[in-house]
Amino acid sequence: MSEKQFEGKSAIVTGGTRGIGKAIALELARRGANVAFNYARSADEAEKLKNEIEALGVKAFAAQCDVADTDAAADFVKQTTAAFGTVDFLVNNAGITRDTLILRMKEDDWDAVMDTNLKGAWNFSKAVLRPMMKNPAGGSILNIASISGVVGMLGQTNYSASKAGMIGLTKALAKEIASRRITVNALALGLIETEMAAEMNAEYREKILAQIPLGRLGNVGEVAEIACFMLSDAARYITGQVIQPDGGLAM
């Protein structure tokens, strides 16, 4: 693998300021890609990441953007295209959780998760298609889903539904745009060591670990490596697929 395999390419990573999104953004930059990412509130963290990316010798673009806002998503893509000239990769990573049992779940909890996780992916996917279709080499869209969307999880009717929706979006969109040389795939992630995972209570964490055949949580570096493979030329014959980096949890 060439160290700068993505030199001359440009990527958008939604929700890129921390955790999985940050790891993917940095790995893409290490491999030579220009990287644009949005943030919701953390302007300071966004500025730090922008500086980290630029220190790797590539361009970076960051802007505040609510992924659930269709017009804002379209504007973000326009700004990225203006900054980089093209968009080769889109990683729909932005996501939130508002976990509770359905009998306690408020309508706002449902709406917020569906709007950010599912509508956000739809908004950005739609917005990048025209610039991607103008690119003779095509492009790649990668949706960061979850095993919660494959098997369902207690207390996550909203999150599980949003991630199952992302999987359906992946498959349908892959069929729609395959003829334009654009691939669409998803990662249905298991439990990954992030700030979100760190908030789990110890008893629940041990219970989940006991169900993972590999006996550990994944890490963001592993996810970033898999994501880069799925965006690379080596994966150009893969589309409409859901890859499960989950340590065997959902076998």
Residues belonging to the active site:
159
Spell out where 55-213 has E strands. 60-64, 89-92, 139-146, 182-189
Helix (H, G, I), strand (E, B) or coil at 194: coil
Residue 52: Cβ-neighbour burial (10 angstroms; 0-12, 13-18, 19+): middle
Which pair of tokens denotes residue 21?
């999104």
How far is 237 from 178, CA to CA, in rounded Å? 10
How far is 141 from 173, CA to CA, in rounded Å? 10
How far is 197 from 66, CA to CA, in rounded Å? 23
